[in-house]
């Protein structure tokens, strides 16, 4: 799917009313934005699509090269998925847990990622990987850079669903002060360009109940990996 530069944010999904978003935009870096509530119109068709992915590639807790088990549970869809084990971080076409290719990226997810990227000046972004992180209360993501992708000209598009989180958005060095950005259900963060390698993470999730998703936060992170 190719979206032209000035394409309005309308998509004819399943022949129904086109989805569109009029999100409030907050700039958090020279090339980084939070699109408040941008994903909300997509949530209804997105949840069954994510469930279908998870039926094929269930959540699992991966181990880092340093031997730590990640507190967020992870899955992926797309032509490649991100994995980690004692040997390192990498993208793989096969889910190491099932030995099968990762589930294809559902069209509704692709459309949402493309719409958000387009809104922030990346109209040609076509992700090939969508990481799905599940945070139960107490789970966190330590400060890290997304740098396992081959071509860093493409942004990271990160969709938050479920209970809220505090996103840490640091600088290009680990020691740089990180700003705290509260992320709610439906918010999207996009970072690219000069901000592409900024450190980021998630503070331990506080217990809460979301009307649709219960006591969990789901994060979908789209990248062009290969």
Query: Which of 149-159 are b and which e, b meaning 16 or more Cβ less than 10 Å from the residue's Cβ?
Result: beebebbbbbb
**What's the rounded Cα separation, in Å, for the pair 163 and 211?**
9
Q: How far apart are the first and last CA of the chain?
A: 17
Site map 158..187 versus ligand SIN, x via CB under 6 A: x--------x--------------------
Closest residue by Cα to residue 222 from 191, 193, 201: 191
Q: Which parts of the chain fold into alpha helices (H)? A: 43-56, 107-119
Which stretch, 115-123, 139-147, 161-169, 182-190, contacts Fe ion (CB under 5 A)? 139-147
Closest residue by Cα to residue 146 from 201, 184, 73: 201
Which residues, other chains included, contact 29 with Cβ-Cβ below 8 Å and sequence gap of 6+? 169, 191, 194, 195, 198
- Tell me the backbone φ, ψ of residue 158, rounded to 5 degrees: -125, 120
Least distance in Å: CB of 183 to ligand SIN?
Answer: 6
For ligand SIN, the nearest residue by Cβ is 219
Q: Between residues 185 and 196, which has the closer beta carbon with respect to Fe ion?
A: 196
Least distance in Å: CB of 130 to ligand SIN?
Answer: 11
Backbone torsion region of residue 56, taken as left when φ is above 0, otherwise alpha when ψ lies between -120 and 50, otherwise beta: alpha
Judge contact between 46 and 113, C-beta under 8 A.
Answer: no
**What's the rounded Cα separation, in Å, for the pair 165 and 132?**
15
**133-162: contacts with ligand SIN (CB under 6 A):** 133, 141, 158
129 binds, options Fe ion, ligand SIN, none, Cβ within 5 to 8 A by partner type:
none
Of positions 76, 84, 118, 219, contacts ligand SIN by CB under 6 A: 219
Q: Between residues 95 and 146, which has the closer beta carbon with respect to Fe ion?
A: 146
Q: Between residues 84 and 216, which has the closer beta carbon with respect to Fe ion?
A: 84
Asked if 149 interacts with Fe ion (CB under 5 A), we say: no
Q: Between residues 9 and 141, which has the closer beta carbon with respect to ligand SIN?
A: 141
Of positions 95, 128, 146, 195, contacts Fe ion by CB under 5 A: 146
Site map 86..125 versus ligand SIN, x via CB under 6 A: ----------------------------------------
Residues at the site binding Fe ion, with contacts judged by CB under 5 A: 146
Binding residues for ligand SIN, rule: CB under 6 A, are 133, 141, 158, 167, 200, 202, 219, 221
């Amino acid at each position: 799917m190719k979206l032209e530069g000035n394409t309005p944010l309308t998509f004819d999904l399943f022949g129904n009313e086109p989805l569109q978003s009029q999100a409030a935009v907050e700039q958090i870096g020279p090339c980084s934005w939070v699109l408040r509530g941008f994903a909300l119109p997509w949530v209804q068709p997105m949840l069954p699509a994510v469930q279908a992915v998870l039926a094929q590639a269930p959540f699992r807790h991966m181990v880092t090269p340093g031997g730590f088990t990640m507190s967020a549970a992870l899955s992926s869809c797309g032509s490649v998925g991100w994995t980690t084990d004692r040997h390192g971080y990498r993208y793989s076409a096969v889910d190491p847990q099932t030995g099968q290719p990762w589930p294809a990226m559902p069209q509704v997810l692709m459309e949402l990622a493309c719409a958000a990227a387009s809104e922030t000046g990346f109209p040609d972004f076509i992700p090939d990987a969508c990481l799905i992180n599940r945070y139960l209360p107490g789970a966190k993501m330590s400060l890290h850079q997304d740098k396992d992708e081959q071509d860093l000209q493409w942004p990271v598009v990160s969709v938050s669903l479920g209970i809220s989180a505090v996103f840490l958005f640091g600088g290009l060095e680990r020691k740089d002060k990180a700003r705290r950005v509260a992320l709610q259900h439906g918010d999207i963060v996009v970072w690219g360009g000069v901000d592409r390698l900024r450190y980021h993470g998630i503070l331990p999730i506080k217990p809460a109940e979301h009307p649709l998703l219960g006591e969990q936060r789901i994060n979908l992170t789209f990248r062009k990996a290969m």
